[in-house]
Amino acid sequence: MATVLAIETSCDETAVAIVNNRQVCSSIVASQISVHQLYGGVVPEVASREHLATINEAIAKALQKAELDWEKIDGIAATCAPGLVGALLVGITAAKTLAMVHNKPFLGVHHLEGHIYATYLSEPSLNPPFLSLLVSGGHTSLIYVKDCGIYETLGETRDDAAGEAFDKVARLLKLGYPGGPVIDKLAQVGNPQAFPLPEGKVSLPGGGYHRYDASFSGLKTAVLRLVQQLEKDNQQVPVADVAASFQETVARSLTKRAIACALDYGLDTISVGGGVAANSGLRKNLQAAAAEHNLRVLFPPLKFCTDNAAMIGCAAAEHLSRGHKSPLTLGVESRLALTQVMKLYQFI
């Protein structure tokens, strides 16, 4: 099967990995969290400069750790969409250069397809069809995975992504950036039933609510008003209880929609990808609900939930093995629907 060197620079992680089929030979991730913490979030220009400073070393380390030379590499891949344009350009330019220098096929990979393929790294026998719940700082979607490159979006957030909501609530609670890990940690010692928070629902024109679409901006606003009311009443904000109540509400909302979607479409497996897939509340809620309906739930290892190049390499290896490659004229896009994945490829 194909061995691919993959680069991921869609946001604030400079990552390089070498993947053979669905096996990780090496995975290097240079995090920028400490840099962006000073600003309370990712600064695109800063992210691009950090990628430039670390990309060459990451490539060298990936090859060294895998104990492979360029003759053993069958293709070079990079995330091309969606993401921060400047950051994406660093990775795709490096990948194209390597492809030309070493005369290898180049593959541009959709970031969300990478998150879908993260589950394959721990479950190599997994095959479509199945439902993928993608939950990250920029995306919250329910995807019907029909085949490699063939996807149908069944549900999505109408406003904030789940991970974005975690970051914003963490900022309200003065917990710093990134918000997901610290809220999850506090939730372990807080009371998830302390504050009844509204689960965001999306109304349908003819009445009722959408079974799969989600909304988190109202929940975020509810937390803000709760904190403001407590402060107005001169009460100390029970941060752990607020964090636990918020996390429980998000987890319950995502679980309800994923289970309903899987049952409605007759899918017996739900894979979860993206940074929020690491959240303990979501894992607990979804696994418990799935067991009640005899559904299988698959989570990637924690190290492959956040952005990494191994998942990009896994997706690229699958495409390459099917005779797909991308033209060297392929550009980057800040937004690109997952349903348009196949526009990135030509047949060899």
Tell me if 192 sits within 8 A of 245, measured CB to CB: yes
Asked if residue 158 and residue 269 are part of one domain, the reply reads yes
What mean pLDDT is predicted for residues 192-213? 92
Tell me if 9 sits within 8 A of 81, measured CB to CB: no
The last residue of one of the domains, among 299, 316, 339, is 299
Spatial separation of the C-alpha atoms in residues 266 and 42, rounded to whole Å: 39
Q: In the prediction, which pLDDT does 41 show?
A: 83
Asked if residue 138 and residue 80 are part of one domain, the reply reads no
Asked if residue 218 and residue 337 are part of one domain, the reply reads no
Asked if residue 252 and residue 288 are part of one domain, the reply reads yes
Give per-residue pLDDT as tens, 123-141.
Answer: 999 999 999 999 998 899 9
38 assigned to some structural domain: yes
Supply the CATH number for residue 163's domain.
3.30.420.40
Give per-residue pLDDT as tens, 2-17.
Answer: 999 999 999 999 999 9
Give per-residue pLDDT as tens, 26-72.
Answer: 999 998 888 888 788 889 899 999 999 999 999 999 999 999 999 99
Q: How many domains does the chain have?
A: 2
- Token pair, residue 153, equals 């979006």
Residue 348, pLDDT > 70, answer no
Asked if residue 80 and residue 180 are part of one domain, the reply reads no
48 assigned to some structural domain: yes
Spatial separation of the C-alpha atoms in residues 10 and 62, rounded to whole Å: 18
The mean of the pLDDT values for the chain is: 96
Asked if residue 210 and residue 229 are part of one domain, the reply reads yes
158 assigned to some structural domain: yes
Q: What is the identity of the amino acid at 6?
A: A
Asked if residue 46 and residue 135 are part of one domain, the reply reads no
Tell me if 261 sits within 8 A of 131, measured CB to CB: yes
Asked if residue 149 and residue 58 are part of one domain, the reply reads no
What mean pLDDT is predicted for residues 150-160? 96
Q: Which range, 106-115, 205-214, 339-348, has the best average confidence (pLDDT)?
A: 106-115
Helix axes 179-187, 239-264, angle to 10 degrees: 100
For residue 204, count CB atoms less than 10 angstroms from its CB and return exposed for 0-12, middle for 13-18, buried for 19 or more.
exposed
124 assigned to some structural domain: no
Domain interval for residue 15: 3-119+305-347
Give per-residue pLDDT as tens, 327-340.
Answer: 999 999 999 999 99
3-state helix, strand, coil in the chain (%, to 5): 45, 20, 30
- Token pair, residue 260, equals 């309903």
Q: Helix H segments across the chain? A: 33-36, 44-66, 85-101, 111-118, 162-172, 179-187, 217-232, 239-264, 280-292, 309-321
Asked if residue 174 and residue 235 are part of one domain, the reply reads yes
The last residue of one of the domains, among 264, 280, 299, is 299
What is the band of 238 on the pLDDT scale with cuts at 50, 70, 90?
A: very high
What mean pLDDT is predicted for residues 266-277? 97
Note the pTM of the prediction, 2 decimals. 0.94
Tell me if 15 sits within 8 A of 308, measured CB to CB: yes
The last residue of one of the domains, among 284, 299, 314, is 299
Asked if residue 59 and residue 144 are part of one domain, the reply reads no
φ, ψ of residue 13 to 5 degrees: the values are -125, 125
φ, ψ of residue 135 to 5 degrees: the values are -135, 115
Q: At a CB cut-off of 8 Å and minimum separation 6, what does 85 contact?
A: 44, 332, 333, 334
Spatial separation of the C-alpha atoms in residues 56 and 43, rounded to whole Å: 21
Asked if residue 248 and residue 191 are part of one domain, the reply reads yes
Q: In the prediction, which pLDDT does 32 show?
A: 84
Asked if residue 152 and residue 186 are part of one domain, the reply reads yes
- Going by the DSSP 8-state scheme, the letter that residue 235 receives in this structure is P
